Amino acid sequence: MSLTFDRARLWFLFLLVVAGGSWGLFFALARIASEGGHHPFGLTFWQGVGGGLLLLSIAAIRRTPLPLNPRAIGFYVICGVFGTTLPTGLIFYVAPNIGAGLLAITMTLVPIMTYGASIVLGIDKPAALRLGGLALGFVAILMIMLPSIGAEGGVALLWALLALLVPACFTIENLLLALRGPEGIDPIPLVGALQLCGALLMLPLALATDNFMDITVPWTQAHWASVLMFMINALSYTVFLYVLQRTGPVFASQATYVATITGILWGMVIFGETHAIWIWLALFVLMAGMALVQERKTERMA
């Protein structure tokens, strides 16, 4: 193993910590914003607008080009749906109902789902240990969901299923970015375009349902939480995409290790969330599954 490879791997691991660590706070902030009385439609719109305009402004200052041909625009729209509109809206719906920590735990499914989808699409090969990781991920989700469904004060089946859709959306986006992303594009304008497209798709729905978040009124804690969220989202998303473009979807998706741990901790610190013993056991099983699923070699280190 060369010294260059060692330095490259350490650099990308550091970036994963930055992306995952900042993303871990997102779930707690989403709960604050949702419990502040703002609807997920309006919150999702401002997340995309804030993050999109911030990143596109940085790209403009740096004079970084953004492809605007029909194929590229179509790609921005599709990834905006799976990377911004659907998962962000779901997070705002789910976080107040299952808690920031439990929502963060479900995000550990992203690398496991990514590997499973990679096998189905023929871009990765089945391996005994990694298939064992897939099985552990399935077992862990059952451990989390089944004891809570129907229990007094527990997680309703609807919220449990909606929570699982969040990592599913991010898995689809990861694969789209890795397989269909425009060649050679800088992550900053790309992420900005994805977020802004996601926001524009949400705008008609927010206006039609009269769930637009008013920013002209005196600002509350929820408003400031929303601002911090789009800044965190822009940072973590850009760093993650930078790593994804250079290492591949499975390696990059391991940012969820850090996001899960920090998400649980923030939920405990801010809201005093506690988790039953089977939740901690399920987290251990999920981490073991992620360790088995993770790629044994780096696809690209440049």
Q: How far is CA 110 from CA 107, 149, 154, 180, 254, in A?
A: 6, 22, 24, 19, 8
pLDDT digits (tens, 9 = 90+) for 198-235: 889 888 888 888 877 788 888 888 889 888 988 888 88
**Which residue, chain included where needed, has tokens 């039953």?**
276
- CA gyration radius for the chain? 19
Residue 168 is predicted with a pLDDT of 92
CA distance 178 to 10: 21
Which of the residue ranges 69-78, 117-126, 260-269 would you say has the lowest mean pLDDT? Answer: 117-126
CA distance 246 to 232: 22
When pLDDT is cut at 50, 70 and 90, the band that residue 193 belongs to is very high
CA distance 49 to 57: 12
Residue 295 is predicted with a pLDDT of 55
- Neighbouring C-alpha atoms within 13 Å toward the C-beta of 133: 24
pLDDT at residue 300 greater than cutoff 60:
no
Residue 298 is predicted with a pLDDT of 41
CA distance 153 to 4: 53
pTM higher than 0.85 for the full model? no
pLDDT at residue 160 greater than cutoff 60:
yes
Q: Which of 35, 71, 67, 53 is nearest to 199 (CA)?
A: 53
Share of residues in the chain with pLDDT > 90 (%): 6
Residue 3 is predicted with a pLDDT of 43
- Dihedral sign from CA coordinates of 268, 271, 275, 280: negative
CA distance 152 to 112: 30
CA distance 187 to 207: 30
